[in-house]
Every structure is written in C-alpha cells, then in structure tokens.
Amino acid sequence: MPPNGGSSKIAKRLAEKFRNRKESLVRKCDELRFHCQADVYILVSRNGRYYVYTSTDHPSWPPSPEHVVSALFNILALDTDSALG
C-alpha cells in the first residue's frame, strides 16, 4: 500500500460525507420553503469554496446584512419592551 493511501481514503470519505450532508441540508431547506412558505438562504463555506442555497430568485433576497441586523435589533427591542411591561 502506498504511504499516502490511507490519508487518500480518509480525504475521499470526508469529501463524500460533506457532499451527502450538504445535499441533506439543501433538501431540508427546500422542504422548509415548501411546507412553511419560508424564504431560506444558506451559505456554507468549506476550504475556501462557497456553496449557496436560496429559495427564491427575488432581487431583494437575501436581505442585506444591515437589514438583518436592523431587524434583529427591532426584535430585541420588542422583547425588552414586553418583558418590562
């Protein structure tokens, strides 16, 4: 057996595991979109490559990072107001 034969098998196994899990994630995102009428955006980064799933091709999707942060602050403010009231 070549000296790197074992590490080659491990690398292939890891690549296959990643591919299978990525496909499962995309399938679950699509189910969420379909069954719950949700907009879904997933960004996966691995080894300098990016994999993207988006449930719609609408120009306003995905929202900008600034919009997401603003929405989160609004949600947190509402939670704080309801906790105080």
**Tokens 């955006």 appear where?**
41
Give the integer Cα–Cα distance in Å for 20 and 25: 9
**Tokens 């600034």 appear where?**
66
- Residues 14-73: tens digit of each pLDDT: 999 999 999 999 999 999 999 999 999 999 999 999 999 999 998 889 999 999 999 998
Measured in degrees and rounded to the nearest 5, phi and psi for residue 59 equal -60, -25
Quick check: bond before 62 cis, omega within 30?
A: yes
Domain annotation for the chain: domains and CATH numbers: 5-84 (3.40.1810.10)
Residues 6+ apart with CB under 8 A from 41: 52, 53, 54, 55, 61, 62
Residue 2, pLDDT above cutoff 70:
no
Q: What is the pTM of this model?
A: 0.68
Specify the DSSP class assigned to residue 64.
Answer: P
Strands, E, within 2-71: which ranges?
Answer: 41-46, 49-54
* Most trustworthy range by pLDDT among 6-10, 28-32, 75-79: 28-32
Residues 6+ apart with CB under 8 A from 9: none
